[in-house]
Amino acid sequence: MIRITQLVHGKGTVSEALKHRKKPPHQVPSRLLAFAETRRPVIFWNITNKCNLACSHCYISASSSGARPELDTGRDTGSGGELSLEEAKEFLDDLAEMRVPLVLFSGGEPLVRKDFWELAAHATARGLKTALSTNGTLISSTVAAKIRDCGVEYVGVSLDGAKAETHDRIRNQPGCFEKAVQALRNCAEVGLKAGVRVTVTKENYKEVGDLLDLSRDLGVPRFCVYWLVPSGRGREIYDLQLKPQEVAQIFDLLYQRARALNPAEMEILTVDAPQDGIYLLSKLKDEGSPESEYENALRLLQYTGDSCSAGDRVANVDPAGNVYPCQFAQLPEFKIGNLRERRFSELWNDPKNPVLAVFREKTKFLKGKCGSCPQKELCGGGCRVRAYAEAGDIWGEDPLCSFTQALY
């Protein structure tokens, strides 16, 4: 995750990061977690694979039935169905004892799981910070207030276009654009912080500017761009992936908007392309920005360490309790273990776990341009899942990166 706004308005962020850097993660404001010294993971938890939509790029292939095609083809080594309420609460208890900084409830659509409210309330009662990733279609004013009252601090609502036609086509349901927009309004009305999340492909990248404008009109404080990763149904539409030059075009737009906007109004960030941080540094240099701006941005990236946090500051748990380095790495070869076999804390702190061992030292194994890049310690070699899908080699080059050669 590259926090463009914080990097380009770095002076205040650096001082705040220094102030909180050595504190335990549960005492650090959510927006500064990436810069904390203690490296306990943010948990991306797919609590269900059921969803009321059928988005073309869904990384977990969610559906109304909750069935996973991977289970039918032998691609996953699942351990049964969804975790029960009792199992899920035991997991939350374990996370509370670990004092993880944040639990993000995701799906599928997490609000279709009937005991979501019990899970959210239990997490809050155990002192855990929580967030919600949702398509927004089920968030009425009443539901927004209920989410707030359960202690959820932030809601990320997916909007995959500035026009209803685009969003509804990608999400395969007429009318879901208006529901998502209304969800953002409903959250704002009850004082619940909510942001926009967009997965950018050839279908919608020309609408990013208009989507930023719409988000500002809605008073949205956070705008998050996800670059497509070939996971789940994302593999089926990967021909819609942007070319590196198109990625650079969108990043330039985000960069300019972040510079122009008051950071108190909106935070802009990208996910799934750690090399964006390197590109931002090159932009600051090319524009002749004051040396202090470049140094502040560089220092924040150094605080973050490897900008791909998979297996280190990020963990994923799927509906059946399988644990992975990140939500896009749900493949048997990247499985860390299962909650029905060992507690999460035991899995995560096992120095002999082969998956974690390599993900936490991945810059040692990178090949090609990523392996020889002088910036690899900052970006971690880009997205390893994307590299694996491209060449069948987890240590290969991230095909989305076009910036390496320009920095030599």
Residue 33 is predicted with a pLDDT of 56
Amino acid identity of residue 1, one-letter, is M
Residue 64 is predicted with a pLDDT of 87
Residue 267: which pLDDT band, with cuts at 50, 70 and 90? very high
Residue 391: which pLDDT band, with cuts at 50, 70 and 90? confident
Residue 72 is predicted with a pLDDT of 42
Residue 181 is predicted with a pLDDT of 98
- Per-residue pLDDT averaged across 117-125, rounded? 98
Any idea how long the chain is? 408
User: What confidence tens digit (pLDDT) does each residue in 268-320 have?
Assistant: 999 998 899 999 998 988 887 787 888 888 888 888 765 788 999 999 999 99
Q: Are 21 and 35 a contacting pair, CB within 8 Å?
A: yes
Hey, how many other C-beta atoms are within 10 angstroms of the C-beta on 80?
12
Q: What is the DSSP string of 211-263?
A: HHHHHHHTT-SEEEEEE---SGGGGTTGGGPPPHHHHHHHHHHHHHHHHHS-T
Residue 319 is predicted with a pLDDT of 97
Helix, strand or coil, per DSSP, at residue 317: strand
Q: What are 200's strand-pairing partners?
A: 227
pLDDT higher than 60, residue 68: yes
CA distance 368 to 128: 41
Structure tokens at 77: 């080594």
pLDDT higher than 70, residue 330: yes
Hey, how many other C-beta atoms are within 10 angstroms of the C-beta on 153?
15
Residue 71: which pLDDT band, with cuts at 50, 70 and 90? very low
What is the pLDDT of the chain when averaged over all its residues? 89
pLDDT higher than 80, residue 402: no
Q: Is the pTM of this model over 0.95?
A: no
Q: What is the DSSP string of 131-190?
A: EEEE-STT--HHHHHHHHHTT--EEEEE---SSHHHHHHHHT-TTHHHHHHHHHHHHHHT
CA distance 205 to 200: 5
Structure tokens at 119: 């899970």
Q: Are 127 and 26 a contacting pair, CB within 8 Å?
A: yes
Q: Are 237 and 171 a contacting pair, CB within 8 Å?
A: no
- The proportion of the chain whose per-residue pLDDT surpasses 70, expressed as a percent, equals 88
Residue 10 is predicted with a pLDDT of 73
pLDDT higher than 80, residue 11: no
DSSP state of 242: P
Helix, strand or coil, per DSSP, at residue 333: helix
Tell whether the torsion through CA atoms of 230, 276, 316 and 149 is positive or negative. negative
- Residue 184: C-alpha distances to residues 70, 136, 216, 224 (Å): 33, 8, 11, 14
Comparing 255 with 16, the larger pLDDT belongs to: 255
Q: Which helix (H) or strand (E) holds 268?
A: strand 267-271
- Which of 32-36, 103-107, 253-257, 362-366 is least confident? 32-36
User: What confidence tens digit (pLDDT) does each residue in 20-41 have?
Assistant: 555 666 666 665 555 555 678 9
CA distance 84 to 340: 11
Helix, strand or coil, per DSSP, at residue 356: helix
Amino acid identity of residue 355, one-letter, is V
Residue 15 is predicted with a pLDDT of 56
Residue 77 is predicted with a pLDDT of 42
- Per-residue pLDDT averaged across 360-376, rounded? 90
Q: Are 183 and 218 a contacting pair, CB within 8 Å?
A: no
CA distance 171 to 263: 30
User: What confidence tens digit (pLDDT) does each residue in 148-182 have?
Assistant: 999 999 999 999 999 999 999 999 999 999 999 99
pLDDT higher than 70, residue 377: yes
